Structure 1
Amino acid sequence: MDFAQELGLLIRARYPLIYVPTAEEERVEGVLTQVARVLGQWGVYVWDFVEGIQGNSNDQGFARRNPLQALEFLDKLPPHLPALLILRDYSRFLEDVAVGRKLRNLNRTLKSQPKSVILLATEVRLPVELQEMVTVVPFGLPTAAELRQELQGILAGLNQSLEPLVLADLVRSCQGLSLERMQRVVGRALALRGSLTAQDVDGVLAEKRQIIQQTQILEFCPPTVTLADIGGLDNLKLWLERRQQAFGQAAHDYGLPYPRGLLLAGLQGTGKSLTAKAIAHFWHLPLLRLDVGRLFAGLVGESESRTRQMIQLTEALAPCVLWIDEIDKAFNALDSRGDSGTTNRVFGTLLTWLAEKNSPVFVVATANQIQILPPELLRKGRFDEIFFVGLPTWEERQSILQVHLSRLRPHTWSSYDLVRLAWETPDFSGAELEQVIIEAMHTGFSQGREFSTDDILEAASQMVPLARTAQEQVQVLQQWASAGKIRSASRHTSLSRRMEQMEEQDYGESSA
C-alpha cells in the first residue's frame, strides 16, 4: 500500500490527527489534494505561521501568526462538511499547553465528523501526551517510476529525448533525491549545456555529496579506484563481475534480490579498503564511508539516534555502497564494555538492519581480526559472502608490482624484473610492495638518477613485513581460511601454494 492509499484509508476511517514527517511540502500537498479529489468533495485548507489560512477566499489570512486560532478554524466549518486542514511546521507549537489541549479536544470531536488534521514537519517531535492519539505516516522519497516520469516530462517540454540506457542510468543515480533536489540538478545541467546527457550523472553524485556533508556521520568518497588497480583477488573479482548488473531493472524483473554485502577479512595492507572503493567504481554507485566511532555520542540515546539517522540517510541515497571500515575495532568484546549497554544497542540496531534491509545498499565491511567479531555478525543473511584477503601469491605480487610501476613509470615499467622482485618479496602485502618502490624512488632521486630493480630489492631487504611481526595473527587468519570458514579472495589453495613454493625454489636455484 503506497502513501496515497494508506492516507485515504485513514481519512475514510476518520483518524482525526495524522502526522506526516517530510521535507517535501509541495509534493506531499499535491498528493493530499489528489486524495481529497478521489474521496469526493473534500475541502483542502492549508495554514502556515506567516500566511495564515489558505484555500478559502472568505478566510484568507485567518489565524496568521496564531497557531491556536488555526485549530479553531475547524469550529467555523459545518460539522457535516468534509475537510482536510494541513498545518505546516506545526511541530514547533506542540509543546504549547493551549495547543496541546485543543488537539486533544479535537481528537474527541472529529471522530464523529468527516475531518482530519494533517501535521507537516521535517521530523517527528511529539509530546508524550499526544503520542497515543496522533498517527504518523512516513512520506518516502520519490520512487524510480516517479523520477522517470518527472525526467520524461522535463524532456518532453524541451522537445528532447534520451537513449533508454542513459535515461535508466540517470534515474538510478537520482534515486535518493527529493524531486526538488532532482529538479535543481536538472536545472543546473540545462543552464550549463542546454540539454540532458550521460555526463549529468556526475552532477547527481555531487548533489548527493552535498547531502552527506550536512550530516557529519557519513563521508562521501569519490570512487576513483578501479578493479584494474588491484592485483590478484581473482575469485573476488569474478564474484563482483557476476553481480555488476544486479541493481538494474532487468535483474529485478528476473526476480533477483539486491546483493546485500561483503565482509572482507585479512591482514592490514592487503587491499581491503582499496577493494571497497573499486566496487563502487565498477558498479557506478556512490561510495559512503562510515567511521563507526562517529555514531557514538555523549548524551544518553544520541548514539542510537545517530545510528538510525545513518540508516535512513544511507537508504535515502540508495543505490549505493556503504563502506564500514575496520568493523572489528568497534564491536569486539561487547559484553565487557562499561557504557551502560550503548554499544550493544548500536550493534543490535545495525545487525537488525543488515538482516532485514531490502533497499539497494551494498555493505562492504572490512576487518583485520575476524576471530574477535561477534558470531551473530558472521552468520549468513548479514552478508552475501565473507572473503579472506590474504597475502599475495608470487603471481599476484608480480601483478601488484606491475600496477604500481605502470602508474609511476608508464613508459619504462617493463624494464624492471618483476619475476625477481616478486620472488625476493615473500610475505609482503600490497601496501608494503608499494612502499618499497617509493623508497627506491627516494634513493634514485637523491642520487640524481632513475631508480632500478636493485634499488627496489635493497629497499625490500631493509623492510620487515607486518606478516613477520604479526605472525600469530596471520596464522589464525590462514587457519580460518584453510578450515573453510571463509572464502579465499584469491585462486589460492594449499596445492597452488605448494606449487608456488616449488617454482620459487626452482627460480632461486637457476638464479644462483
Structure 2
Amino acid sequence: MDFEKKIKTTLISNNFLIYVSTEEEERLEYILKQIINQLFKARIYSWNFIDGYTDNPNYISQCRQNPLEALNMITKNNDKKTKVFFLKDFHVFLKDISISRKLKNLYQYLKKSNQYVILSGTEIHLPTELKEYITYFQMPLPNKKEILIEINRFLYKIDTNQLKYKEAICMAYTGFSINKIRKSLFKLILNNISQNQIIEKILQEKEEITQKTEGLKFYSSYNNKLELGGLQNLKNWLKIRNLAFTKKAYSYGITRPKGILLVGIQGTGKSLSAKIIANEWNIPLFRLNVSKIFAGILGESENRIEKIISICEKSSPCILWIDEIDKIFSEYNNTNDSGTKQRVTNIFLTWLSEKKQGVFIVATANTINQLPVEILRKGRFDEIFFVDLPNFKERLKIFQIHLKMFRPLTWNKYNIYYLSKISKGFSGAEIEQSIIDAMYTGFYENREFTTIDLKNAIYKIIPLSKIERNKILNLRKWGYSGKIKIA
C-alpha cells in the first residue's frame, strides 16, 4: 500500500490522532492537503512553533511558541467545517507531561467532534504512554513514480525518452528526498552535465550524503574493471538470482533473496564478492561499519543502527555488505556497556529475519567460531558458502586477472602456468602481493619485471596457510563437512 492510500485508510478508519515520522515536512504537507481536499472538501490548518497557526483566518499567528496552547485552540475552535489540524515538529514536545496529558484528553474530544490531528516529526519512536492513542507510521522516500515526475520536469531539454535510461536515473535517485532530487537536478542543469555523466554525478552525490551517516559507506556499482577468479558455484548461484529484484520476478511470484554469508580464509575474495555482486546486479552497495555505530550516549547506538536500516530500506533494492561479521560479535562481547551491544545485535538480527524490502545482505567471516548460533540458522541468510584457497585452475585465472590489470598488453609473456604451480596454498591477495613485489624489483633495477622476479617473490612470501596451518586445516575440515556449500 502506498503512502497516500495508507493516510486515507487511516483517516476513514477513525484514527483521530496520527503521528508521521519524516524529514520531508514540505512534501508531507502537500500530500496531506491533497488528501484532505479529496476526503472532506476542506482545508488543513497548520501550526509551527515560530509562526503559530498560519492558514486559519480565525486565529492566524496565534499560539506562537506555545505547543500546549496550540492543542487547547483545537477545542476552542467554533468552525465545524474544520476537519484536520497539522502540527509540525511535534516530536520535540511529546515527552512533556503536560503535552502528553493534553493529547490523551484531546483524543476523546476529537472522537466526539469527528476531527483529526496529524503530528509530524523526525523521531522514529513514540513515548510509551501515547502509543495507545496515536497511530504512527513513517512516510517513505519518493517512489519511482514521484522520481519520474521530477526527472521529466527538470530534464525535458535532455533526451530522456529511452525507458532504460530513465530507469537508471530512477535507480540512482532511490533513497533521495524530493528536495534533494530537485537540488541535484538543478545542479546538473546549471553545470550543463552531459547525459553520459548524469548517473555518475548522482552516485557521487549519494556517496556524499551517505558519508554523513555514522557506520555506513556507499559504493558506486558502476565499475566494470572488477573481476573475480574462481568461486564458480557462488557465481552460478548469484547468476540464477540476477533478476530477483525486477518487476518480472515480482510478477512471477519470486521471493526476494535475503542474502549470503561467506566464510573462509582471509584474502580469498570474500569482500570483493560484495562489489562484484553489486556490479553484476547493477544495484547500490552500502558497507556497514559496526565499530562506528557504538556511541557513548545511552540510546544513540540503537538509533544509529535503526537509521542505517532505514536508509538501506529506503534505497532498496540494494546490497548491504557486512565485512568480517565474526569480529563484530567477538569485539563487543563481555563489555560493560549496559547491554548496548546486545540490544544493537537484537535489533539487527530481528531485522535480518523479518525484512521484506529488497535489501540483499553480503556478510563475510574468517571463522565460524565467534558467530552466535542464531545468525547461522535458516531465515537469516539464504545460503552459507565456504570460500577455500584457490586451486590450480583458479590460481591461473587470478594471475591472469592481476597481470592483465598491471600489464594489459604484455600479460601473456609471463609463465602463469609455472607461477600457479609453485604458488600452491596462496590466497588471491597473496598472489596479487607477489606481483606487486616483483614489480618493485623490476622498477628498482630500471627494467620490466619478469617471471623470475615473480618466482622469487612467491618463494619469499610465507602464506597464511603455513602461518596458521592448524586453524586453516580445521576451517577447511568444517567447510567440507557437507553442512554448507562450497563457493
- Return the TM-score normalized by structure 1: 0.87
Determine if contact 1:394/1:423 at 8 Å carries over to the other structure. yes
Determine if contact 1:332/1:374 at 8 Å carries over to the other structure. no
Q: Please report how far the alpha carbon of residue 365 of structure 1 lies from its aligned counterpart in structure 2 after TM superposition.
A: 0.4
1:154-165 equivalences under 5 Å are 154=154, 161-165=160-164
Task: Kindly indicate whether residue 11 of structure 2 is the aligned counterpart of residue 11 of structure 1.
Answer: yes
> In structure 1, which of residues 307, 310, 314 is the aligned counterpart of residue 308 of structure 2?
310
Structure 2: unaligned runs, 5 residues or longer: none
The Cα offsets for residues 443-480 of structure 1, whole Å up to 9 and x where unpaired, read as: 22222222211111112112211001111222122222
Determine if contact 1:322/1:363 at 8 Å carries over to the other structure. yes
SS at match of 2:28: helix
The 1:470/1:142 distance shift into structure 2, 3 A limit, reads: same
Determine if contact 2:214/2:293 at 8 Å carries over to the other structure. no
Tell me the amino acid that sits aligned with residue 173 of structure 1: A
The 1:437/1:12 distance shift into structure 2, 3 A limit, reads: closer
Determine if contact 1:263/1:367 at 8 Å carries over to the other structure. yes
Residue of structure 2 in register with 1:236 after alignment: 234
Q: Please report how far the alpha carbon of residue 216 of structure 1 lies from its aligned counterpart in structure 2 after TM superposition.
A: 1.6
Cα distance between partner residues in 2 of 1:338 and 1:90: 35
The 1:234/1:227 distance shift into structure 2, 3 A limit, reads: farther
Q: Percent identity?
A: 42
Determine if contact 1:141/1:177 at 8 Å carries over to the other structure. yes
The 1:161/1:288 distance shift into structure 2, 3 A limit, reads: closer
Residue of structure 1 in register with 2:183 after alignment: 184
SS at match of 1:312: helix
SS at match of 2:380: coil
Q: Please report how far the alpha carbon of residue 49 of structure 1 lies from its aligned counterpart in structure 2 after TM superposition.
A: 2.6
The 1:98/1:393 distance shift into structure 2, 3 A limit, reads: closer
Cα distance between partner residues in 2 of 1:391 and 1:194: 45
Q: Please report how far the alpha carbon of residue 411 of structure 1 lies from its aligned counterpart in structure 2 after TM superposition.
A: 2.1
Cα distance between partner residues in 2 of 1:26 and 1:401: 55
Cα distance between partner residues in 1 of 2:43 and 2:278: 49
The 1:402/1:253 distance shift into structure 2, 3 A limit, reads: same
Q: Please report how far the alpha carbon of residue 207 of structure 1 lies from its aligned counterpart in structure 2 after TM superposition.
A: 2.9
Cα distance between partner residues in 2 of 1:59 and 1:179: 31
Task: Kindly indicate whether residue 20 of structure 2 is the aligned counterpart of residue 20 of structure 1.
Answer: yes
The 1:76/1:376 distance shift into structure 2, 3 A limit, reads: closer
Tell me the amino acid that sits aligned with residue 145 of structure 1: K
Tell me the amino acid that sits aligned with residue 165 of structure 1: K
Tell me the amino acid that sits aligned with residue 117 of structure 1: V
Residue of structure 2 in register with 1:172 after alignment: 171
Cα distance between partner residues in 1 of 2:14 and 2:315: 35
The 1:207/1:441 distance shift into structure 2, 3 A limit, reads: closer
Cα distance between partner residues in 1 of 2:379 and 2:261: 12
Tell me the amino acid that sits aligned with residue 433 of structure 2: Q
Residue of structure 2 in register with 1:257 after alignment: 255
Residue of structure 2 in register with 1:55 after alignment: 55
1:240-319 equivalences under 5 Å are 240-319=238-317
Determine if contact 1:82/1:113 at 8 Å carries over to the other structure. no
Residue of structure 2 in register with 1:118 after alignment: 118
Tell me the amino acid that sits aligned with residue 54 of structure 2: Q
Residue of structure 1 in register with 2:133 after alignment: 133
Residue of structure 2 in register with 1:357 after alignment: 355
Residue of structure 1 in register with 2:465 after alignment: 467
Determine if contact 2:214/2:304 at 8 Å carries over to the other structure. no
The Cα offsets for residues 330-373 of structure 1, whole Å up to 9 and x where unpaired, read as: 22499866555433332222222112211111111010002442
> In structure 2, which of residues 378, 388, 408 is the aligned counterpart of residue 380 of structure 1?
378
Q: Where does structure 1 differ by over 6 angstroms across 4 or more consecutive aligned residues?
A: none
CA-based RMSD of the aligned residues comes to 2.6
The 1:29/1:241 distance shift into structure 2, 3 A limit, reads: same
Determine if contact 1:87/1:120 at 8 Å carries over to the other structure. yes
Tell me the amino acid that sits aligned with residue 176 of structure 1: G
Cα distance between partner residues in 1 of 2:28 and 2:148: 18
Cα distance between partner residues in 1 of 2:22 and 2:231: 44
SS at match of 2:260: strand
Cα distance between partner residues in 2 of 1:227 and 1:351: 34
Tell me the amino acid that sits aligned with residue 462 of structure 1: K
Tell me the amino acid that sits aligned with residue 406 of structure 2: L
The Cα offsets for residues 256-280 of structure 1, whole Å up to 9 and x where unpaired, read as: 2222211111111111111112222
Larger Rg: 1
Which stretch of the first structure deviates more once superposed, 70-79 or 473-482?
70-79
Determine if contact 2:215/2:291 at 8 Å carries over to the other structure. no
Residue of structure 2 in register with 1:46 after alignment: 46
Determine if contact 1:166/1:198 at 8 Å carries over to the other structure. no
Cα distance between partner residues in 2 of 1:224 and 1:39: 45
The Cα offsets for residues 427-450 of structure 1, whole Å up to 9 and x where unpaired, read as: 011111111111122222222222
Determine if contact 1:14/1:115 at 8 Å carries over to the other structure. no
The 1:285/1:64 distance shift into structure 2, 3 A limit, reads: same
SS at match of 1:172: helix
Structure 1: unaligned runs, 5 residues or longer: 490-512
Q: Please report how far the alpha carbon of residue 300 of structure 1 lies from its aligned counterpart in structure 2 after TM superposition.
A: 3.7
